[in-house]
Amino acid sequence: MTAKKTACASALLLGATLALSVSPLASAEMKDDAIMTKFMLDRFEVRHQDGDDLLSWEAQINTRTDYQGLAFKTSGERLRNGPTESAEYQLLYQRLVSEFFDAQFGIRYDNQPGPSRTYAVAGLQGLAPYWFEVDANLFLSDQGDASARIEAEYDLLLTQRLVLQPAAEITVAFSDDEEIGVGSGLSKAEIGVRLRYEISRKLAPYVGINWEKSFGDTADFARAEGEDTEVGSVVIGVSAWF
Amino acid sequence: MRFSMIQGLILAIASLGPIGAMAGSYDLVIDEQIVNITGKDKKAMTINGQFPGPTLHFREGEDVTINVTNRLDVDSSLHWHGLLLPYQMDGVPGLSFDGIKPGETFSYQFPVKQSGTYWYHSHSGFQEQEGVFGPIVIEAAKREPFKVDREYVVMLSDWSDETGEQIFSNLKAQSDYYNYSQQTVGDFFDDVKASGWGAAFKDRLSWGSMRMMPTDIADVSGYSFLMNGKAPQSNWTALFEKGERIRLRFINGSAMSYFDVRIPGLEMTLVQSDGNNVQPVTVDEFRIAVAETYDVIVRPREDKAFTILAESVARTGYARGTLAPREGMAAEVPELRERPLLTMSDMSMASMGGMDHSNMAGMEGMDHSNMAGMADMKGMDHSNMAGMADMKGMDHSKMPGMENMEGMDHSKMAGMAGMEGMDHSKMMMGASSANSDYAPGSGLAPEAANGGKFLVYADLKAQVPFANYREPDREIELRLTGNMERYFWSINGIKYSDAEPVHLKLGERVRIKFINDTMMMHPMHLHGMWMQLDKGNGRFNPLKHTVNVAPNTTLTVDVPVDALGQWAFHCHLMYHMAAGMFRKVIVEEAVVETAAQ
């Protein structure tokens, strides 16, 4: 199921790429408006925690010129022995709106246990002052529920190759969507610290710790389902791009 | 009998003819082969089987024919860097001609109208980086104003184990891909020890607010630096007998690397720049921008070896050779000097990323050349700016846009907060070195290793005054711009693919004002016509084909527009050019206005 969705999204991305590439060849000798594709596996990790270990991923593919293009994002979690706890796919049009930021618009599809959701997405992704990598998004679900999520990461160079990366993610819901266990207000926060070693710029294994907590009504819904509202884990994984 | 005398006379005249217009013919073949330069086999592009290509010896006044055969499986080209010729012979695919297809031969034919040291290179893809380049030496028709006993070409280049395509795509994907000298937590604590918590923290905040790195000197690292194609350990050697005058023709054929050049123990008398004679100036060291040439004369009076050292400006390595009385000798090779760090003086207003440019419409008219340290920001606390003495003399009346700045929303200028963190001590130090080619306080301003004379552009005075020197007819402002984070480079904020050509009229004299809004040096190169570098020497301003524009400075050149056609005008850093820092210049006949009635 997951693979099928991914393939579907990839096909869409490819189609759109082909559409984009019909640009004038006036400057055939110059590469300054070429379309570049970058696959980023930001996190691919095993989270060792109470109960079953969890496999977690976060990846993004950009296909774009300097000024605009497409982004495909996916993230999710799967218990070692199944099932997939959550899986999220976004297909976005992105456009450079300042020196360091892209505005992104598109759709998000969540395929989780229980009812799936489709969202409209509007967001900003880029490098904020003081070197924070930021991805901030607003979501409006097909149920009419709005939510916002902001993720930020910071690279602290211990050496040229050993990098300590604190990261945080906060989700706020503007209304209840009890079916998928989301309550209005600050719903979820996640904080992690990962220490990676860049074997090359393109490949870096890492270890770290991660802490997740749900709040307010979201926490109440989780308790009602018999789930933990707070999970700490030790992670081991790899990040890569090409 | 008489007939044969006439016949003989005709024969004699006929044979004299080619002397009057000598014709040299050269055959060059561009191919690929495995070379071993650094101890590792790697595929390189070669010319006539050589890396770099063979030195072409032309004579001023001759008509040359150069048949260039492309044995690569991609299009190729050769551009004659600095030569004045018909634009169809200039070798820029898409502008001069269609390029040379695989397997085909293109005949370049042009009269040689100048003398001096030049070079040639491919203008296709990244072939120059991979070996398609070589020196050109043009013998002067008249006696030169200096005497030498021997001469050598010293061609500097940078060599990577990666292909140009790989380097470019890595830079596009991650602009700091090659910067392995970034500031670490350890450096932070060193700074704390040196200047205290407050200063160290403020310094990091000020750079962080702009999302720029003081260590960002060169975009690409991992290069081996070569002298005449030889790695430092191979020690290219030039022989001499003591007391001889030796002319060294330095050419920087690098894709991306500037060098600081010196010969410890010898003074260098600089006699030529970019092929044009200059009034001799004796220096201990000089910086050679990518694509520039400098001819120096040295006179070793001792029977010993001297090291010719060309340190990369980012101090990631050096090219090295030896001047020696006999083969197999070597002199001491000095340690690399400390890596430079950019300072806030290298940041132009425009490059301060934290600023909301949308509010800055009124700033267009500002003269950045006067803004070395940005003291003109009205909202700033001037009392903190001890190091900014140069700003006192600023003529605000020359800044028509400044009124509008008062209306600027300073609260939106996140980046400005960081200015308090400027390292004033460094600024003062830098200012004292007073290198007129760099912004006061710049971290890039070089100093001679022996504390002696370091060449500055103002030292370059033409040997003979330029005959057509006059006030320019008009001025064109070219801001050198770019997006460091996303690695695209532009002029006036517009990349080549989106830009209109620059239109010039034959016969006019156009002042080009380069304003470097980026934090990097850019070697700007105009094809087909000279740029007369204005460093205040009037009609003795030197003619150059490539000029270095330092960060946060303004450099003006006057172009005597004397060649019809389509010409390339670009930053000669290969990956900046590829990323859009390029313009097409079209020179047309001036339309003579006919009387209306």
Here the ipTM equals 0.88
pLDDT value at B419 more than 70: no
Is there a contact between A160 and B353 if contact means CB atoms under 8 Å apart?
Answer: no
Is there a contact between A31 and B578 if contact means CB atoms under 8 Å apart?
Answer: yes
* Mean of pLDDT over chain B: 85
For the segment A74-100, the average pLDDT, to the nearest whole number, is: 93
Helix (H, G, I), strand (E, B) or coil at B430: helix
Q: Which residues, at least 6 apart from B78, have a Cβ–Cβ distance to it below 8 Å?
A: B28, B30, B66, B68, B91, B108, B120, B121, B122, B123, B132
Min mean pLDDT across A54-63, A203-212, B352-361 is at B352-361
Query: Which pLDDT score, from 0 to 100, does residue A228 have?
Result: 87
pLDDT value at B539 more than 50: yes
Question: Does B495 touch chain A if contact means CB atoms closer than 8 Å?
Answer: yes
Q: Which two tokens stand for residue A19?
A: 């559409």
For the segment B407-420, the average pLDDT, to the nearest whole number, is: 37
Q: What CATH number is given to the structural domain containing A94?
A: 2.40.160.40
CA nearest to A36, candidates B490, B174, B499, B482:
B174
Tell me the shortest Cα–Cα distance from A187 to chain B, in angstroms. 30
More confident residue, B281 or A224: B281
**3-state SS string over B59-89?**
ECCCEEEEEEEECCCCCECCEEECCCCCHHH
Query: Which pLDDT score, from 0 to 100, does residue B23 have?
Result: 73
Q: Cα–Cα distances in Å, from A121 out to A69, A73, A88, A155?
A: 16, 12, 12, 27
Q: Which residues, at least 6 apart from B296, have a Cβ–Cβ distance to it below 8 Å?
A: B247, B248, B250, B268, B269, B270, B271, B283, B286
- Least CA distance to A241: which residue of chain B? B173
- State the Cα–Cα distance between residues B581 and B583, nearest whole angstrom: 7
Tell me the shortest Cα–Cα distance from B487 to chain A, in angstroms. 9
Question: Does B107 touch chain A if contact means CB atoms closer than 8 Å?
Answer: no
For the segment B33-58, the average pLDDT, to the nearest whole number, is: 94
Determine contact, residues B379/B326, Cβ cutoff 8 Å.
Answer: no
Q: Which domain holds residue A199?
A: 2-17+37-241
Task: Give A99's contacts in chain B (Cβ within 8 Å).
Answer: 353, 483, 485-486
- Least CA distance to A96: which residue of chain B? B486
Count structural domains, chain A: 1
CA nearest to B286, candidates B252, B256, B254, B317:
B252
Q: Which of B184, B487, B517 to mutate to test the interface with A (most CBs of A within 10 A)?
A: B184
Q: Which CATH architecture has domain B16-140?
A: Sandwich (2.60)
- Least CA distance to A201: which residue of chain B? B177
Query: Which pLDDT score, from 0 to 100, does residue B591 have?
Result: 78
* DSSP-derived secondary structure letter, A164: E
With respect to residue A67, please indicate whether it lies within any of the assigned structural domains.
Answer: yes
For the segment B355-360, the average pLDDT, to the nearest whole number, is: 35
- State the Cα–Cα distance between residues B82 and B526, nearest whole angstrom: 8
Q: Which of A99, A158, A162, A165 to mutate to test the interface with B (most CBs of B within 10 A)?
A: A99
The tens digit of pLDDT for each residue in A156-182 reads 999 999 999 999 999 999 999 988 889
- State the Cα–Cα distance between residues B546 and A164, nearest whole angstrom: 43
DSSP of B488-521: EEEETTB-GGGPPPEEEETT-EEEEEEEE-SSS-
pLDDT value at B376 more than 50: no
Is there a contact between A129 and B414 if contact means CB atoms under 8 Å apart?
Answer: yes
Report percent pLDDT > 90 for chain B.
Answer: 75
- State the Cα–Cα distance between residues B405 and B394, nearest whole angstrom: 16
With respect to residue A148, please indicate whether it lies within any of the assigned structural domains.
Answer: yes
pLDDT value at B172 more than 80: yes
Residue with tokens 């980086």: B129
Query: Which pLDDT score, from 0 to 100, does residue A81 have?
Result: 84
The tens digit of pLDDT for each residue in B84-96 reads 999 999 999 999 9
CA nearest to B517, candidates B368, B339, B340:
B368
Nearest to B185 among A66, A100, A158 (CB): A158
CA nearest to A94, candidates A72, A117, A116, A118:
A72
The tens digit of pLDDT for each residue in B457-499 reads 999 999 999 998 999 999 999 999 999 899 999 999 999 999 9
Q: Cα–Cα distances in Å, from A176 out to A142, A146, B331?
A: 13, 9, 78
With respect to residue A61, please indicate whether it lies within any of the assigned structural domains.
Answer: yes
Query: Which pLDDT score, from 0 to 100, does residue B351 have?
Result: 58
CATH label, B465-588, candidates 3.30.450.20, 3.60.20.10, 2.60.40.420, 2.60.40.10: 2.60.40.420
Q: Which two tokens stand for residue B325?
A: 């009385």
Query: Which pLDDT score, from 0 to 100, does residue B224 have?
Result: 96
* Mean of pLDDT over chain A: 88
- State the Cα–Cα distance between residues B208 and A216, nearest whole angstrom: 35
Query: Which pLDDT score, from 0 to 100, does residue B461 have?
Result: 98
Is there a contact between A27 and B497 if contact means CB atoms under 8 Å apart?
Answer: yes
Same topology, domains B16-140 and B465-588? Answer is yes
Residues of chain B numbered 121-150 and touching chain A (CB < 8 Å)? 123-124
- State the Cα–Cα distance between residues B190 and A187, nearest whole angstrom: 42
Query: Which pLDDT score, from 0 to 100, does residue A31 have?
Result: 75
Residue type, B472: P
- State the Cα–Cα distance between residues B550 and A83, nearest whole angstrom: 59
Query: Which pLDDT score, from 0 to 100, does residue A143 have?
Result: 94
The tens digit of pLDDT for each residue in B296-309 reads 999 999 999 999 99
Determine contact, residues B266/B298, Cβ cutoff 8 Å.
Answer: yes
Domain boundaries, chain B: 16-140, 148-157+226-340+445-455, 180-214+341-443, 465-588
Is there a contact between B209 and A130 if contact means CB atoms under 8 Å apart?
Answer: yes
Is there a contact between A157 and B185 if contact means CB atoms under 8 Å apart?
Answer: yes
Query: Which pLDDT score, from 0 to 100, does residue B593 have?
Result: 62
Phi-psi region of A199 (alpha: psi -120 to 50; beta: other; left: phi over 0): alpha
Query: Which pLDDT score, from 0 to 100, does residue A30 have?
Result: 66
For the segment A38-62, the average pLDDT, to the nearest whole number, is: 95
For the segment B222-247, the average pLDDT, to the nearest whole number, is: 96
Q: Which CATH architecture has domain B148-157+226-340+445-455?
A: Sandwich (2.60)
